[in-house]
Chains A and B, each alone.
Chain A
Amino acid sequence: MNKPIDSSLLSPADAYAQWQQDYAAGIGVDKSVRNRSGVPIQPIYTERDWNAAERGADLGLPGQAPYTRGIYATMHRGKTWSQRQLTGLGTPVEYNARLREVLANGANAISLLPCNSVFRGYDMDESHIELLGTCGTVINTTSHMDQALQGVDLAKISCAQNDPTPFTLLAFMLATARRRGTDWRAISGTSNQSDYLSHYVANHMFFRLALPGARRILTDHIDFCTRLLPKWNPMSVVGQHTQQAGATPAESMAFTLCTAIQNAKDCKARGLDPDQFLPRFTFFFDVSISFFEEIAKFRAARRIWARITREQLGAKDPRSWRFKFHAQTSGVDLTRQQPLNNISRVTVQAMAGILGGLQSLHTDAYDEALSCPSEFGARIAIATQNVLREEAHLTDVIDPLGGSYYVETLTDQMQGEIERVMKVIEDAGGMYAAVEAGLVQAMIGESARKFQHQVESGEQTVVGVNAYAMEEDSSARPINARPDRAGMQSLIDDFKTFKATRSQAPVQQALDALARAAGDVKDNVFARVVEAAEAGCTHGEICHTLRREMGFGHVQAVV
């Protein structure tokens, strides 16, 4: 080519051919690119890939099936996403102080993160003191929950509980509400970790009971909440764990949707009406730094869920077809090296979630990769959301990327990949069967290995780790706050005193009733858990009773 051509004189077909020529000449050796889900990515997308005239109907409008562009007509412009920061450290009193700060700085919803000992179903006096309160708040009784939520009006502030089956922390919160005279019907929030299947395959930390017991209690929980807590979302189907464990974004979404189908079927089998429980099904996802892939993933999911709820689950109410989700920026993408870079990573991840149409967002602190986030880091995380909303004005336009050739094509392709994986699961007999058989775990392990290989070979750059690395001054890394040992010891002492001085008869009766309920399919185990919380039983006592009756959860170790 010697003379540049005036391309405005070319027909569209010739112009495209011209571009192809110029591109090939200019690019030299082109690389073949695939996103994390394996979808091949082109250098450019045009109406040849996605034609609005043909496909516009598939797209729909916000608030209308299939909801590709958003589940509500107004989306963030009408009501901004919930700024729901996950917080937890130390003793209930220490937690309360941090919580009030977070609320004062702009968070409008709470997500309580309990200590790992609580996740594992142990009371503080059964645990190594070194490990108490280092990653979350220690809460073992109703009084602890009351202290933790001092000054928080449960009727006004939405509070998510990150507590797996048997949902003791929600039970403590309900008991607290009763003490305060707050009407349960006003309480809003989510049982964030109610998805026992995702725990079994990918975050077994949360897995306390054997599979069949966990399955039963989930249905009891949904039943109870549907009747008595109309503003509470008892079902949060979790994609975060599988994606963090190494599943690709498409796989993780597929596993999540299949789990939702499984849980919905279990509820239907119990006799519950889909239009009663589906509107209270929410989803919880990891948002990785693969920007466009994540946006497409969420848009595709809305379309798939709208179809499944209508066609497979028989829901008639449009509120049942809406795919509502909370997203957390992915800690897996963050690095220990040059940690301040994590601020830019979190910003990109948050944008992907917002442009993907989430309802609620948690942004990680930059020091998440080092240990429990510091106050300093937590403040920046909240500010990030404020900047995106109020300086970058990301709430002004609904689904701003809608109609983009790339984003629409990618949405279709992600939908195809998600549905392909869903079929593998359905062919294996559904999510419960696939998990029992170890199929899902094997798929996750394979994807994790592949990604590790890509990072080790340098194919996937991680700034500061396998590229752009530099000598760092380790003194520049923040020192991790550890809970005050004396304060923790004092909490343990008070706890022992509480156990010794409380009235034992109601405690024993409540635990016996709980044990009986575990063996009686007509009884509601979660209702008995709530009663046990009100009678003064501790978290450990409740968990041990159920483990004894229903079996300790042992996950498969698949390497």
Chain B
Amino acid sequence: MNQAVIPKVLVTKIGFDGHDRGSRVVAAGLRDAGMEVIYTPPWQEIATVVKLALEEDVDVIGISSLATDHLIVPKLMDALREAGMSDVAVIVGGIVPDQDEAVLLQAGVARVFHPGSSMAEIAECVHDLTVAGRARRVAV
């Protein structure tokens, strides 16, 4: 008997901003939805995020951005690609102006969540990305 799919999600912040109320609420919400969440404080270096995602073999990386830190998410996407981890899904939540959302999606971000998104929506998205990702798992 296999386990039901339990997503492993990294919830983190890169860049300089330290406002983490949102990311903590999301981390708790995903836990309450039955997922395993690696939660980090803000100001993670991009290289650290990649290393953590690799060691923990996470299904989804959730970036919380309330100031302008989303502007360096494309750099994260590049770093993941270089590490051979393009199969890890990345979602961004927080304050992302419309003009930047398109840039993020172009860079490979799976979805951008704006303030007012419900916890249920976020959990469902993470679940779906996990199921799709595991099905696609390439033998390493």
A and B touch in the complex (CB under 8 A): yes
List chain A positions with a Cβ less than 8 A from chain B.
115-117, 119-120, 127-128, 130-131, 134-135, 203-207, 244-246, 335-337, 369-372, 445, 448-449, 452, 456, 462, 465-466, 474, 477, 479-480, 482, 554-555, 557-559
Size band of the interface chain B makes with A: 20 to 34
Which one of A128, A245, A371 lies within 8 Å of B97 (CB-CB)?
A371
Instruction: Decide if A135 touches B115 in the complex (CB within 8 Å).
Output: no
Closest chain B residue, CB of each to CB of A120? B16
The B14-33 residues at the A interface (CB cut-off 8 A) are 15-21, 24-25, 27-28, 31
Instruction: Decide if B15 touches A131 in the complex (CB within 8 Å).
Output: yes
Instruction: Decide if A204 touches B42 in the complex (CB within 8 Å).
Output: yes
Which one of A246, A335, A449 lies within 8 Å of B115 (CB-CB)?
A335
Instruction: Decide if B19 touches A205 in the complex (CB within 8 Å).
Output: yes
Closest chain A residue, CB of each to CB of B37? A559
Contacts of B75 in A (CB 8 A): 128
14 contacts across the A-B interface (CB closer than 8 A) = A130-B68, A130-B72, A204-B42, A246-B21, A336-B95, A369-B115, A448-B21, A448-B25, A449-B25, A480-B99, A482-B68, A557-B40, A558-B24, A559-B37
Instruction: Decide if A370 touches B97 in the complex (CB within 8 Å).
Output: yes
Instruction: Decide if A480 touches B17 in the complex (CB within 8 Å).
Output: no
Instruction: Decide if B71 touches A479 in the complex (CB within 8 Å).
Output: no
A293, chain B: closest CB distance, angstroms: 20
Known: A130-B72, A131-B15, A204-B20. A479 touches B31 (CB 8 A): no
Contacts of A372 in B (CB 8 A): 68
Chain B, interface SS category: loop
Most chain A CB within 10 A, of B24, B98, B118, is at B24
Instruction: Decide if A203 touches B18 in the complex (CB within 8 Å).
Output: yes
B114 CB within 8 Å of chain A: yes
Which one of A135, A207, A335 lies within 8 Å of B67 (CB-CB)?
A135
A480–B71 Cα distance when bound, in Å, is 13
B41 CB within 8 Å of chain A: yes
Instruction: Decide if B18 touches A371 in the complex (CB within 8 Å).
Output: no
Instruction: Decide if A335 touches B16 in the complex (CB within 8 Å).
Output: no
Instruction: Decide if A131 touches B69 in the complex (CB within 8 Å).
Output: yes
Contacts of B114 in A (CB 8 A): 336
B49, chain A: closest CB distance, angstroms: 14
B72, chain A: closest CB distance, angstroms: 5
Instruction: Decide if A371 touches B25 in the complex (CB within 8 Å).
Output: no
Q: Given A128-B75, A337-B115, 17 more contacts at CB 8 Å?
A: A119-B16, A130-B68, A131-B68, A131-B71, A134-B67, A134-B68, A135-B67, A204-B18, A204-B42, A207-B18, A244-B21, A337-B116, A445-B24, A445-B28, A449-B28, A559-B37, A559-B39
Known: A116-B16, A116-B67. A371 touches B24 (CB 8 A): no
Closest chain B residue, CB of each to CB of A119? B16
Closest chain B residue, CB of each to CB of A116? B16
A244–B22 Cα distance when bound, in Å, is 11
Contacts of B99 in A (CB 8 A): 479-480
A247–B16 Cα distance when bound, in Å, is 23
Contacts of A131 in B (CB 8 A): 15-16, 68-69, 71-72
A15–B69 Cα distance when bound, in Å, is 61
Most chain B CB within 10 A, of A337, A465, A474, A559, is at A559
A369–B114 Cα distance when bound, in Å, is 11
B54 CB within 8 Å of chain A: no
Instruction: Decide if B68 touches A474 in the complex (CB within 8 Å).
Output: no
Instruction: Decide if A456 touches B118 in the complex (CB within 8 Å).
Output: yes
